[in-house]
């Protein structure tokens, strides 16, 4: 029996691992275990996503919770080591770039267990981002590097990674999106928010997400972004699912004046929402006129959905989303945000371009390579 262990920690990981879990189920000779580090422990950031994605309950939740980067990484390693010693997997599959990704990879390699990294090779070239450090180190530790876009292949080659380790397989996030898009369209989120739809592709509202420390931990930067979005929201409501950290900082910095009162979505303004489940957010995103975000995964989803996306950062590790025309990098400068938003809102046509292999079949490619690699050992 082939033993494979996958590790997830934060909610972007859930969308990435779900199609891999589905593909592994096709092979009765594979014993697969799913470990949740508990890095995201809030029910709305974790448990709801397992239900929406039909993910089985994890075999174990390490329940590490929130802490500094160093403490959180160390806690995952401490709690992961006995799990690996007990189960003895042939390979550990890690996804994305969160602290749990690096911690699990480092723990496995120190025990002589191979690591496969899904979403390898992405680079923002901004070492002030914790995720960039996690990406680089995880790639350096991994035996199999599963790449979602061509830039990842080029980055890894430039770093001297042997070609036999690099596998361009496509984007597992898009596997989840394409599988669930039709089901998400039946969401009741539109009724809940009082959003009128005319049967067209999009409705007259925008979506905002913010969670990166560079945007939400600096009161000046956060105020600049909210001020610009509030101006856009005079023309159409902007729905803002709030990460707990972001909500706490908005309140602590005295910036709640930029938000509308709950229940006033049809009247415009920035409308604060609790975190949404995967299906509700996908439905809201799919029908939006515009999305503003600092999330890499949402940049990818917007590319496939054809929704204009303004990235509130000065860089992206996913250049394919820019090359396909849906994503613009605008940073936190209000003038750049407003100019890009007004330009995007003037054009109602949706892009239909997709990067290569963003076709919903990345997970079966990954599992085929995993099986071939393990059988050859």
Question: pLDDT tens for residues 79-128?
Answer: 999 999 999 999 999 999 999 999 999 999 999 999 999 999 999 999 99
pLDDT beyond 60 at 372:
yes
Tell me if 242 is assigned to some domain: yes
Task: Give the residue numbers marked as catalytic.
Answer: 211
Residue 161, pLDDT score: 98
pLDDT beyond 80 at 56:
yes
Asked whether residue 204 falls in the same domain as residue 153, the answer is no
Q: What is the pLDDT of residues 337-361, one digit of tens each?
A: 999 999 999 987 788 899 999 999 9
Q: How many domains does the chain have?
A: 2
Asked whether residue 255 falls in the same domain as residue 328, the answer is yes
Domain of residue 286, residue span: 179-346
Residue 67, pLDDT score: 82
Sheet containing strand 309-311, edge to edge, reads 270-273, 238-241, 206-209, 290-293, 309-311, 327-329
DSSP 56: P
Q: How confident is the model at residue 65 (pLDDT cuts 50, 70, 90)?
A: confident
Asked whether residue 85 falls in the same domain as residue 38, the answer is yes
Asked whether residue 133 falls in the same domain as residue 208, the answer is no
Residue 11, pLDDT score: 83
Q: How confident is the model at residue 377 (pLDDT cuts 50, 70, 90)?
A: confident
Residue 228, pLDDT score: 97
Report the percent of the chain where pLDDT is more than 90. 82
Asked whether residue 131 falls in the same domain as residue 215, the answer is no
Tell me if 150 is assigned to some domain: yes
Residue 212, pLDDT score: 92
Residue 138, pLDDT score: 98
Tell me if 351 is assigned to some domain: no
Asked whether residue 147 falls in the same domain as residue 219, the answer is no
Asked whether residue 132 falls in the same domain as residue 212, the answer is no
pLDDT beyond 60 at 201:
no
Q: What is the pLDDT of residues 164-174, one digit of tens each?
A: 999 999 999 99
CATH number at residue 22: 3.40.50.2000
Nearest to 91 by CA among 175, 6, 14, 22: 6
Residue 47, pLDDT score: 65
- Give the alpha-carbon dihedral of 299, 300, 301, 306, to 10 degrees: 80
Tell me if 229 is assigned to some domain: yes
């Amino acid at each position: 029996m082939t033993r494979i262990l996958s590790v997830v920690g934060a909610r972007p990981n859930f969308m990435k691992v779900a199609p891999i879990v589905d593909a592994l189920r096709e092979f009765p000779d594979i014993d697969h275990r799913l470990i949740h580090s508990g890095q995201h422990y809030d029910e709305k950031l974790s448990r709801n996503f397992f239900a929406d994605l039909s993910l089985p309950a994890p075999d174990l939740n390490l329940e590490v919770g929130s802490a500094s980067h160093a403490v959180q990484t160390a806690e995952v390693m401490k709690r992961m080591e006995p799990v690996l010693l007990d189960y003895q997997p042939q390979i550990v599959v890690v996804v994305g770039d969160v602290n749990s990704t690096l911690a699990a990879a480092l723990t496995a390699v120190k025990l002589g267990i191979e690591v496969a990294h899904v979403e390898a090779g992405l680079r923002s070239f901004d070492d002030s981002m914790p995720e960039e450090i996690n990406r680089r180190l995880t790639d350096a530790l991994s035996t199999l590097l599963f790449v979602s876009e061509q830039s990842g292949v080029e980055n890894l080659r430039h770093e001297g990674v042997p070609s036999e380790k690099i596998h361009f397989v496509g984007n597992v996030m898009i596997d989840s999106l394409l599988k669930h898009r039709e089901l998400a369209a039946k969401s009741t989120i539109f009724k809940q928010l009082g959003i009128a739809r005319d049967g067209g592709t999009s409705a007259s509202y925008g979506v905002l997400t913010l969670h990166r420390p560079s945007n939400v931990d600096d009161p000046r930067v956060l105020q600049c972004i909210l001020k610009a979005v509030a101006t856009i929201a005079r023309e159409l409501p902007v729905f803002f699912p709030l990460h707990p950290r972001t909500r706490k900082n908005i309140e602590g910095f005295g910036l709640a004046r930029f938000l509308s009162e709950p229940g006033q979505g049809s009247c415009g303004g920035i409308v604060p929402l609790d975190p949404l489940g995967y299906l509700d957010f996908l439905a809201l995103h799919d029908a939006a006129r515009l999305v503003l975000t600092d999330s890499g995964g949402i940049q990818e989803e917007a590319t496939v959905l054809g929704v204009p996306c303004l990235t509130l950062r000065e860089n992206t590790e996913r250049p394919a989303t820019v090359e396909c025309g849906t994503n613009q990098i605008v940073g936190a400068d209000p003038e750049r945000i407003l100019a890009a938003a007004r330009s995007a809102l003037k054009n109602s046509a949706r892009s239909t371009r997709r990067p290569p292999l963003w076709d919903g079949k990345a997970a079966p490619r990954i599992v085929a390579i995993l099986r071939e690699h393990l059988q050859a050992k």
